[in-house]
Structure 1
Amino acid sequence: MTEMLLKYFRTNQQKWQAEKTYDTQCPYCSMQCKMQLIEQSSFTNKKYKTISKDNPTSQGRLCIKGLNAHQHALHKERIKYPLLKKDSEFVQISWEEALEHIKINFTRIQSEYGLNALSVYGGGSLTNEEAYLLGKFARVSLKTKYIDYNGRFCMAAAATAANQAFGIDRGLTNSLSEIPNSRCIIIVGSNLAECQPTMTPYFHKAKENGAYIIVIDPRETETTKMADLHLKLKPGTDAALANGLLKVIIEENFVDDLFVQDRTNGFPELEKHLNAVDLNEIEQITGIEIEHIQRAARKFGEEESGMIFTARGVEQQTDGVMAVRNLLNILLVTGKIGKPSCGYGAITGQGNGQGGREHGQKADQLPGYRLIDNEEHRKYISEIWGINEKDLPRKGVSAYEMMEEIHRGEIKGMFLMGSNPVVSNPNANFVKEAFQKLKFLVVVDMFISETARHADLILPSSSYLEDEGTLTNLEGRVTLREASRACPGEVKHDWQIICEISHTLGKGKYFSFTSVEDIFNELRVASRGGIADYYGITYDRLREENGILWPCPSINHQGSKRLFETSFAHSDEKAVLIPVSNYSTVSKENISEEYPLYLTTGRVLAHYLTGVQTRKSSALAARNFESFIEIHPSTAMKYRIQDNSLVQIESKKGKIIVRSKWSKHIRQDTVFVPFHWAETQNVNCLISDSLDPTCKIPGFKISAVKISPIDIIN
């Protein structure tokens, strides 16, 4: 008997202690770190461990979010079957029933109200293939002009500014590997040490090599700790500060005259504008002493190489485009672009924020960064898709403006994939009301998010461990995310869902893909000759080369590691300089007697976007289980706010309640609240609906608020 038992245990030992590995990429920030999940199964349980994999971007590093990403993918609350709302409750239905409900309701809405009564709302975490397919779905299957995505709130200002100045928007104009050898680096509105921690070592290496680092931020953060000079400006005054820096650069002869003459347009107008700029006024506007403005300008001007990086702190303003344009003016007048360790970097927030806007999710774009109102571009894409050009819709509106269209009654139904706009949009209460007005809402998600609660139908989506596809990181490096784990229950990939709905709607011939690689091969052709040209990139190359920087126009092309070495992407091959006002053309909220404090928002290390995924991770949620207000002790005492106490914050748009966190690292006229929480802690309930007039990005980073200790609120 004993020998039989031993034989039995030996035979089954491998089964009980099996080990599986899943190669993948982190589903969170734009670094897109490569990693591997190890699943160890024993007779009684399963254990999981994440290890990093070497790659050109993060060089084998992982942050705490990546190490714990599997916790949300394996969470018990994942949706595994289609859910239909009946009598205010979600009930499980079959995929056949779900598709039939979509067909009936989409057809009815468009029959009664027109093609544009339906809308599509996407996300910056979708793969390139799924972002491409979603744009095609909106314009071919639904024939609606209304499509946009949550990247509108992330990269729109930087993208527009780069396109206007350079003719191309790629996250970084050169590769991350050039950062360590740059002599002077300006980081504006970014706490990358918490938002992109695996990127931070590049800057530490630069500092070790003698670089002078300037950080512009109203808060002291983990990122400002590495700065040689921290310019702690008043929120919303970045454009004015850039004017001060430019004035010193020009007056003290740090202009690269040959570069400006040969490779730019608009310098005389810029110089004339700056002659009228008064540094005393800049000091008054920004709160930065003239001496510090001069020190920053001189250091950047005198060094042989320099780079400027921007993120949401400067971009999420009603003058976000112009503020970034003014920072690009600094690069151009000093000639610090298109050369080794010189250039611009827009630090993308979402995992595929870069690729997501290149292939058709934005209202005004077609694949390859083509423009939907450009006749030549329309003709090319129509031929690729096999449709008549006249049937291709024109430009719609931005993500938040779609909410306004719902309130106006123009939009009656929505297909939403990979986003949570009830939490992420400004004026969040208004947005919640919009979703309640829709006649039919379909949400594709892994969880019942705050937005999905308003859905009529929820479709279960695959996770990063299951969904293969390409993503484009903050460098513009296209990477292939392998994903071999089987989908749980009846979960489908986003691309499969789009294809099946299209078949149900009678558009199957345009979506006859049998694999995600099939979709990518069509994307390659659709992008060919466009600004974001992926034609030379293949799955085989991505596996062999571990990522390729676009543009890559042919199979033999090695990818573009550094842009603008000899020319810019405008027709005359020159970059464009423009004068920028100290003030936004769209009025920003100013503090007043009634609303005496500036509110700014941002991230914390442990969480991502609206927290739908990271709040499902026990390891991450334990670090920050609730929101908070960071407030200077002097300010807190003025308003009778005790440390670690509940506080009501109120703006003209709404009110929330969070816990106080005293900090001497923030300006006394400013408070900070992270944006990862919902409902009564959703800071976006306080944010104005004012938008940048060019790119339509909301002004998340500056609001006027008042605060009260919770115990004396009437």
Structure 2
Amino acid sequence: MIETTEKTMTVTLSIDGQEVTVAKGQTILEAAQQAGITIPTLCHLKELSPDGSCRMCTVEVEGGRKGGLVTACTAHAQEQMVIHTQSEKVRNARRFILDLLLSNHQLDCFTCSANGDCRLQDYCLEYGVGATSFTGKRQLPNQKDTSNPFFDYDPEKCVMCRRCARVCQMRQGRDVIRTANRGFDTKMLPCGGGNWSASLCESCGNCVSVCPTGALSTKGHQSYRKWQTEKVLTTCPHCGTGCQFYFIVKDGKIVDVEPADGPANQNLLCVKGKFASYKFVTSGERLKQPLIKRNGQFEEATWEEALDAVVEGFSRLKEAYGGDSLAGFSCSRSTNEDNYVFQKMVRTAFQTNNVDNCARVCHSASVHGLAMTLGSGAMTNPIADITGDVDVILLVGSNPTEAHPVIGAKIRQAVQRGTKLIVVDPRKIDLAHQATLHLQIKAGTNVAFANGLMHVIIEEGLADMDFIAQRTEGFAALRQVVADYPPAKVAAICGIAEADLVAAARLYAKADKAPIIYCLGVTEHSSGTEGVMSMSNLALLVGKLGRSGCGVNPLRGQNNVQGACDMGCSPFDFPGYQKVADPATIEKFSRAWQTRLNPAIGLTSTQVLPAASRGEIKGLYIFGEDPAVTDPDLSHVRHALTSLEFLVVQDLFLTETAKYADVVLPGISFAEKDGTFTNTERRIQRVRQAVAPVGSGWEDFRVFCQVATRMGYPMAYQGPQEIMEEIASVVPTFAGVTYERLENIAGLQWPCRSLKDPGTAIMHVGEFARGKGLFQALHYHAAKELPDADYPYLLSTGRMLYQYNTGAMTKKTAGINQLAPDSYIELNREDAQKMGISDGSRVRVSSRRGTIETRAVVGDKVLPGASFMTFHFEDGNANELTNAVFDDIAIIPEYKVCAVAIEPLP
């Protein structure tokens, strides 16, 4: 038997006659699981500390005190312990526990949605407990709460395991659910004791996912039983977090979703992933047949007719005006494989580099800025690393509890564990209430703010001079510039307290582990790339790059916007960020694709639309994007779309953009195809087909192959696996990526340069991708349009929790529309009072570009003089107002700052 020593830190014990050696500190339950021995549990959750409340994991310890019965989830394994998990004493104890539970439980298994998927039912069958021996008082009947739009709660089926409360408090970080009342009246209730719909519940559904009985059940669960279904593991189609979940499929139709233990989410989901990731798949609004516009009206067509029209339209324009008169917008919600084939079609068949994706209007500043300073424009560290064992989180221009909810929940968990949180945001976002510091800076002042932090760090001797000397260049110029940004000056520019700026600098610089996490509040400015480089400057200054718990981490917005960039859907980059401007890259891909490629750098999407208005771009192929909703200054977007001679849109629905098209091709959803997505942490993960495509939909890549082939460039693939093999052959950072390796739920993080390469969790370890990290000396420049007498309020835009992007997917879920039905503008109560506007009243909002009407939400989330809107809603889209001015480097729009006038409606 192995002896316990400080060196080995292990203990050896016997469980049911089997010798087991485990790490010191593990519980008996963990030791049994390691040995493949099952011990029943009701309250235990592996992600949380033991609770021991249900007692079902009772085991017998030979020679133990008080009869030797202990709970395996709380008792630690000890050297030479002898454990019995199925002795008669143990089984009798478990029977007694089950008897007690049934004394307060409604036995209607045949009608319960959890029938066949209920731990209480399973254990009662295993231990022969069919009814309770207790009589008398019990939980009152008919107390079911059905007020939540997605799930129901029935206290008669609750076993008080407290899983729901613990996952809400310690994993979701909301603490909405509490144990209420006493005795047989005890039940799990939202705080305040009201119903679910009146509570602060976010409807994430994580409580439902962990419920071991039918007490909490999705409304859809009534339509199926577990034995009627199959599970398909896939990746969420919403934000860039990359949550893994299982589709529950019955008779070829998706009926539910269960979280999976993926590396990014670890069995957590948000409301969109849990409840709004599949209803759109079978929506009656899905496009099922190609459409051709004839005499101003759409008519259904066959695929042959539609493809003939597409090829004829683009070929005619290419012959008359050249390939650079054409352009393509790729889809950041579709797979890597689709995106790779799309950009290849544009470059080979269209013979132009006018190809782009929606990163142009969200994170192109990150791609360009971090590539210039570090050598790679991607998140440096994994999600688990920057929300786990860290001392300080510097959160800048990011609202993850709404835009990346699972990451937001992980940040809340970190704060609970003692991590200090610095929130830098013009709004009082949810996480500001848990922050050590909230610096509510004026929108558009990020560069000044970062320079102010660096000024303090340098002046107080907190810079990592050894790191700077060994691993960076350009420090002298930076030092000279930030010397001009003392705290008093920066505080005045940003509208914050000087003391808070100094405190934030000290907290961040002195912490051992402190990641920078940022999002569109940094990038979507006319100085967006400079804002990104300022984040990089800050991390370089204190040596917080290339190691755990640190880094510069842009949270990518859409599920595969990282992948669309990786796959070369950019006018500047071939797949793998191999530069169009490099003749060697042109030669490489010309050989690989066996054609002569256009060497000219193409136009960005934000340049294509103005060029269309000028008559320079004649034909446009839009795959899965909706610029008539998402782009700034929508009146100009509409003018550009109507100026095109030929427009093709390939999408799931007849979007606002598709209404302008000459040909509309039906796409297929992520649930109907195989492929991969790459999440915000560079993790490549599988997407698996769960159901057959609706209507006559084709796999998207096959459509692109047909178009290319008919235009003279033969292209065909057997399936997405073959496409990934080609990607691996031309992209060095994907050389080790195969579908076989991606069967592992952990996926692979690029760079992954060989079949033996495990992938790269943390970037820039030892050396930056560009060699040395580059400081960029940057001065602050104000936003292009600031409030004045005519337009006295500053408008910023962003996302909210329940709707996603244009709402094309989420609005197909009724519960989502119940929680978030219409547009709104957030106003400060001081401004609202001056204008005579009350909470909920209708207002008119105008800019130099347009006017909309919406609903006022009055409070203190925004500062006086500021306002906030989303673009999710048709009844008041903020992009009618936003300013189409661009960053000079990434050509990214300034969504975050424009001037508006606001007035109450009668």
Sort the TM-score into its range (normalised by shorter chain): over 0.9
Alignment of 1:274 with 2:482, yes or no, is yes
From 306, 310, 318, the counterpart of 2:518: 310
Aligned to 2:883: 688
Distance in structure 1 (CA, Å) of the matches to 2:611 and 2:821: 35
Aligned to 1:631: 827
Instruction: Tell me by how many angstroms 1:88 deviates.
Output: 2.4
Instruction: Tell me by how many angstroms 1:21 deviates.
Output: 3.5
Distance in structure 1 (CA, Å) of the matches to 2:803 and 2:857: 18
Return the letter of the residue paired with 1:703. Answer: C
Shift in CA distance, 652/178, structure 1 to aligned 2, threshold 3 Å: closer
Shift in CA distance, 453/386, structure 1 to aligned 2, threshold 3 Å: same
Aligned to 2:728: 524
**Partner-residue secondary structure (3-state), 2:538:** helix
Instruction: Tell me by how many angstroms 1:506 deviates.
Output: 2.6
Answer with 416-425 or 111-120: which moved more.
111-120
Instruction: Tell me by how many angstroms 1:39 deviates.
Output: 3.3
From 655, 662, 682, the counterpart of 1:456: 662
Identity of aligned residues (%): 30
Shift in CA distance, 306/583, structure 1 to aligned 2, threshold 3 Å: same
Alignment of 1:653 with 2:849, yes or no, is yes
| Alignment length (residue pairs) | 683
**Partner-residue secondary structure (3-state), 1:382:** helix
Return the letter of the residue paired with 1:63. Answer: C
Distance in structure 2 (CA, Å) of the matches to 1:250 and 1:174: 29
Post-superposition CA distance 1:448-487 (Å, at most 9, x none): 0000011111101111111211111010111111113111
Unaligned segments of structure 1, at least 5 residues: 1-12
8 Å contact 1:22–1:465 — kept in the other structure?
no
From 37, 42, 49, the counterpart of 2:256: 49
Instruction: Tell me by how many angstroms 1:302 deviates.
Output: 1.3
Instruction: Tell me by how many angstroms 1:645 deviates.
Output: 1.4
Aligned to 1:88: 296
Distance in structure 2 (CA, Å) of the matches to 1:21 and 1:120: 36
Alignment of 1:413 with 2:619, yes or no, is yes
**Partner-residue secondary structure (3-state), 1:544:** coil
Alignment of 1:677 with 2:869, yes or no, is no
Unaligned segments of structure 2, at least 5 residues: 1-222
Aligned to 2:631: 425
Return the letter of the residue paired with 1:683. Answer: A
8 Å contact 2:791–2:847 — kept in the other structure?
yes
Aligned to 2:235: 25
From 251, 264, 270, the counterpart of 1:63: 270
Aligned to 2:684: 478
Instruction: Tell me by how many angstroms 1:358 deviates.
Output: 1.4
Post-superposition CA distance 1:483-503 (Å, at most 9, x none): 131111101121111111122
**Partner-residue secondary structure (3-state), 2:670:** coil
Instruction: Tell me by how many angstroms 1:544 deviates.
Output: 2.7
Post-superposition CA distance 1:328-386 (Å, at most 9, x none): 11111111111221111100001111111112111111011111111111111221111
Shift in CA distance, 15/290, structure 1 to aligned 2, threshold 3 Å: closer
From 230, 250, 257, the counterpart of 2:438: 230
Instruction: Tell me by how many angstroms 1:524 deviates.
Output: 0.8
8 Å contact 1:382–1:392 — kept in the other structure?
no
Instruction: Tell me by how many angstroms 1:201 deviates.
Output: 3.2
* Correspondences of 1:68-79 after superposition (within 5 Å): 68-79=276-287
Return the letter of the residue paired with 2:370. Answer: A
Post-superposition CA distance 1:289-330 (Å, at most 9, x none): 110001000111111121101100111000011112112111
Give the alignment's Cα RMSD to 1 decimal: 1.8
Instruction: Tell me by how many angstroms 1:17 deviates.
Output: 8.8
8 Å contact 1:265–1:574 — kept in the other structure?
yes
**Partner-residue secondary structure (3-state), 2:348:** helix
Instruction: Tell me by how many angstroms 1:392 deviates.
Output: 2.8
Instruction: Tell me by how many angstroms 1:175 deviates.
Output: 4.8
Return the letter of the residue paired with 1:699. Answer: E
Aligned to 2:332: 124
Distance in structure 1 (CA, Å) of the matches to 2:693 and 2:852: 38
Instruction: Tell me by how many angstroms 1:620 deviates.
Output: 1.3
Distance in structure 1 (CA, Å) of the matches to 2:685 and 2:744: 11
8 Å contact 2:254–2:278 — kept in the other structure?
no
Distance in structure 2 (CA, Å) of the matches to 1:89 and 1:21: 42
Answer with 284-293 or 634-643: which moved more.
634-643
**Partner-residue secondary structure (3-state), 2:602:** coil
Distance in structure 1 (CA, Å) of the matches to 2:246 and 2:758: 27
Alignment of 1:145 with 2:353, yes or no, is yes
Return the letter of the residue paired with 1:62. Answer: L
Distance in structure 1 (CA, Å) of the matches to 2:695 and 2:266: 35
Distance in structure 2 (CA, Å) of the matches to 1:262 and 1:355: 33
Shift in CA distance, 113/14, structure 1 to aligned 2, threshold 3 Å: closer
**Partner-residue secondary structure (3-state), 1:198:** helix
Alignment of 1:194 with 2:194, yes or no, is no
Aligned to 2:7: none
Distance in structure 1 (CA, Å) of the matches to 2:456 and 2:506: 7
Alignment of 1:553 with 2:760, yes or no, is no
Aligned to 2:640: 434
From 487, 490, 498, the counterpart of 2:696: 490
8 Å contact 1:171–1:354 — kept in the other structure?
no
Q: TM-score scaled to structure 1, two decimals?
A: 0.93
Instruction: Tell me by how many angstroms 1:277 deviates.
Output: 2.1
8 Å contact 2:392–2:514 — kept in the other structure?
yes
Post-superposition CA distance 1:564-599 (Å, at most 9, x none): 1200112xx210112211225xx5211111111100
* Correspondences of 1:148-167 after superposition (within 5 Å): 148-167=356-375
From 775, 779, 783, the counterpart of 1:577: 775
Distance in structure 1 (CA, Å) of the matches to 2:841 and 2:855: 5
Instruction: Tell me by how many angstroms 1:174 deviates.
Output: 4.2
Alignment of 1:296 with 2:500, yes or no, is no
Return the letter of the residue paired with 2:713. Answer: K
8 Å contact 1:123–1:151 — kept in the other structure?
no
Aligned to 1:205: 413
Post-superposition CA distance 1:28-71 (Å, at most 9, x none): 111121112223459xxx78111111111111111111122111
Distance in structure 1 (CA, Å) of the matches to 2:752 and 2:822: 44
8 Å contact 1:646–1:659 — kept in the other structure?
yes
Post-superposition CA distance 1:83-135 (Å, at most 9, x none): 11123222111001001111221122122222222211112112111111111
Alignment of 1:341 with 2:526, yes or no, is no
Aligned to 2:708: 502
Post-superposition CA distance 1:245-298 (Å, at most 9, x none): 111111111011100110010111111122222322211110011100010001
Alignment of 1:110 with 2:110, yes or no, is no
Distance in structure 1 (CA, Å) of the matches to 2:599 and 2:904: 51
Q: TM-score scaled to structure 2, two decimals?
A: 0.74
Distance in structure 2 (CA, Å) of the matches to 1:350 and 1:594: 36
Aligned to 1:6: none
8 Å contact 1:629–1:672 — kept in the other structure?
yes
Distance in structure 1 (CA, Å) of the matches to 2:224 and 2:369: 57
Instruction: Tell me by how many angstroms 1:688 deviates.
Output: 1.2
Aligned to 2:151: none
Shift in CA distance, 363/16, structure 1 to aligned 2, threshold 3 Å: closer
Post-superposition CA distance 1:604-653 (Å, at most 9, x none): 11111111111222121221111100111111121222221111111111
Instruction: Tell me by how many angstroms 1:393 deviates.
Output: 4.2
Distance in structure 2 (CA, Å) of the matches to 1:693 and 1:16: 55
Distance in structure 2 (CA, Å) of the matches to 1:197 and 1:25: 15
8 Å contact 1:85–1:455 — kept in the other structure?
yes
Aligned to 1:643: 839
8 Å contact 1:134–1:498 — kept in the other structure?
yes
Distance in structure 1 (CA, Å) of the matches to 2:743 and 2:780: 48
Aligned to 1:101: 309
Aligned to 2:179: none
Structure of greater Rg: 2
Task: Specify which structure has the bigger relative contact order, considering alpha-carbon pairs within 8 angstroms and separated by 6 or more residues.
Answer: 1
Distance in structure 1 (CA, Å) of the matches to 2:584 and 2:712: 28
Return the letter of the residue paired with 2:850. Answer: G
